[in-house]
Amino acid sequence: MNLLILLHLFFLNSFSQKLESVNISFAVVFKNNPIVLHDSTYNLHDGNSIKFETLKFYISNIQLFQNEVAVYTEQNSFHLIDVSDASSQNVFLKLANGISFNKIKFNLGIDSTTNVGGAMGGDLDPTKGMYWTWQSGYINFKMEGICNTCTDSKKNFEFHLGGYQYPFNPLQKVELKTTANSFKIILDLNKFFAIVDLEKQKHIMSPCADAVILSQQLAKCFSIK
């Protein structure tokens, strides 16, 4: 019986503890311009110009750190950030009052355990269009668009970067410094296209070495504001 009372007190205590909210908003930009799907044109370093039709990606396993000690780990931490859906770009963390942190870490993509874990719901539901059908595996990052200035006959580009199996696991860890309770995480695609030559490479639709290289580059395109 004593144990029950103790448990009761424990739960009362944990519920009465005040929670603090950390608000993160994700923004995908090209240089300083926000990405607007379908309409806006963006000029690449090589003189080509492009439009975006689809742009969505997974952020997972969000953790806050204070001097390399994890002070907060989000449970069931899977977020599909979709440029066509404003509400998907905001992530709210609830942590106990008074926790201070100086770093955020997250993954770009979905870990291998989740990849083999069967059907999932929410942002991981296969109806989200981020799961390959012909071969199991999540697409971590999906970007589709048109390059009208490209010289070859097929103008559309498609980068479906994903998979989980060695040696083509493109999952990336991203670390950014922050102490604020409300901040913006920027993904600047200008840096991504700095290493892409659309004249040579427009389609990646399966796990491969290039998908890993491009994912590594994407991880370097994140910054905080």
Partner 1 sequence: MRKYAIVFLCFFLFAFVIKESLFTVPEYFPLPVYDFSKNPLTENKILLGRTLFYEPMLSKNNTISCESCHSPFSAFTHIDHTLSHGIHDSIGTRNSPTLMNLAWQKYFMWDGAVNNLDMQALAPISHPFEMGSSINEVVEKLNASEKYRKLFYNAYGDNTATGEKTLKAISQFMLTLVSANSKYDKVMRKESNFTEQEANGYLLFKNNCASCHTEPLFTNGNFENNGLPMDLLLKDIGRMKVTSNKNDSLKFKVPSLRNIEYSYPYMHDGRFKKLSEVLNHYTNGIQPSKTLATQLKHGIQLSSNEKVDIITFLLTLSDKEFVFNPKFQYPK
Which residues form the interface with partner 1 (CB under 8 A)? 115-121, 124-129, 131, 133-137, 165, 168, 208
CB 152, min distance to partner 1, A:
24
How far apart CA 180 and CA 174 sit, in angstroms, is 17
How far apart CA 41 and CA 51 sit, in angstroms, is 5
Closer of 23 and 136 to partner 1 (Cβ): 136
Closer of 34 and 126 to partner 1 (Cβ): 126
Closer of 128 and 184 to partner 1 (Cβ): 128
Closer of 138 and 159 to partner 1 (Cβ): 138
Q: Is 122 helix (H, G, I), strand (E, B) or coil?
A: helix
CB 23, min distance to partner 1, A:
28
Taking Cα atoms as reference points, which of 160, 190, 177 lies closest to residue 34?
190
How far apart CA 196 and CA 76 sit, in angstroms, is 33
CB 194, min distance to partner 1, A:
27
**What angle (nearest 5°) sits at the alpha carbon of residue 73, between those of residues 72 and 77?**
145
CB 75, min distance to partner 1, A:
16
